[in-house]
Structure 1
Amino acid sequence: MPTSSFLPIKCILFDLDGTLLDTAADLVAALNAVLCAEGREPYTLAQARHTVSHGSIGMLELAFGREQTAAELARRREVFLDYYQANISCHSRLFEAMPDVLAALEGDNIPWGIVTNKPEYLTFPLLTALDLHRRPRCIIGGDTLAVAKPHPQPLWLAAEQCGVAPQHCLYIGDAERDIVAGRAAGMKTLIAEWGYLNPNNEHHDWPADGSIASPADILAWLN
Structure 2
Amino acid sequence: MMPFAGLIFDLDGTLIDTAPDFIRALTLQLQRHQRPLPASELIRCDISDGSAGIVSRAFAIDPDHPQFAALRSEFLEIYYHHLAVDTAPFAGIAELLAECQTRGIPWSIATNKPWRYTEPVLQALGLLSTACAVVCPDHVSATKPDPEPVLLACQKMGIAPSEAIMIGDHRRDIESGQRAGARTIAAGWGYLRPGEQAADWRADATVHCSTQLQPLLFGL
TM-score by length of 1: 0.92
Alignment equivalent of 2:118, drawn from 106, 110, 123: 123
Alignment equivalent of 2:36, drawn from 41, 46, 50: 41
Q: Number of matched residues?
A: 218
Residues of 2 paired with 1:169 and 1:143: CA distance? 22
Alignment equivalent of 1:205, drawn from 194, 200, 204: 200
Contact 2:92 2:214 in 1 (8 A): no
Contact 1:180 1:207 in 2 (8 A): no
Cα RMSD between the aligned structures? 1.6
Q: What does the per-residue CA deviation read over 1:78-99, in whole Å, with 9 as the maximum and x for residues that have no partner?
A: 1110000011101000111111
In the alignment, is residue 50 of structure 1 matched against residue 45 of structure 2? yes
Check 1:97–1:219 CA distance in 2 against 1; reply closer, same or farther (3 A cut): closer
Residue 211 of structure 1: how far off its partner (Å): 0.6
Q: For residue 158 of structure 2, what is the aligned residue in structure 1?
A: 163
Contact 2:63 2:69 in 1 (8 A): no
Residues of 2 paired with 1:13 and 1:151: CA distance? 15
Residue 68 of structure 1: how far off its partner (Å): 5.7
Contact 2:161 2:182 in 1 (8 A): yes
Alignment equivalent of 1:144, drawn from 127, 139, 142: 139
Q: For residue 215 of structure 1, what is the aligned residue in structure 2?
A: 210
Residue 104 of structure 1: how far off its partner (Å): 0.7
Moved more, 47-56 or 12-21: 47-56
Contact 1:147 1:153 in 2 (8 A): yes
Secondary structure of 1:211's counterpart equals: strand
Matches within 5 A, 1:1-223: 8-67=3-62, 69-222=64-217, 223=219
The gaps in structure 2 that reach 5 residues or longer are none
Moved more, 202-211 or 62-71: 62-71
Give the letter for the 1:20 counterpart.
L
Give the letter for the 1:109 counterpart.
G
Check 1:178–1:68 CA distance in 2 against 1; reply closer, same or farther (3 A cut): closer
Residue 61 of structure 1: how far off its partner (Å): 1.8
Contact 1:113 1:136 in 2 (8 A): yes
Residue 208 of structure 1: how far off its partner (Å): 1.1
Secondary structure of 1:183's counterpart equals: helix
Contact 2:187 2:198 in 1 (8 A): no
Q: What does the per-residue CA deviation read over 1:153-190, in whole Å, with 9 as the maximum and x for residues that have no partner?
A: 01100000001100010010001110111111111111
Secondary structure of 1:35's counterpart equals: helix
Give the letter for the 1:90 counterpart.
V
Residue 196 of structure 1: how far off its partner (Å): 0.7
Give the letter for the 1:162 counterpart.
M
The gaps in structure 1 that reach 5 residues or longer are none
Secondary structure of 1:71's counterpart equals: coil
Residue 143 of structure 1: how far off its partner (Å): 1.9
Residue 32 of structure 1: how far off its partner (Å): 2.3
Give the letter for the 2:42 counterpart.
Q
Contact 1:193 1:213 in 2 (8 A): yes
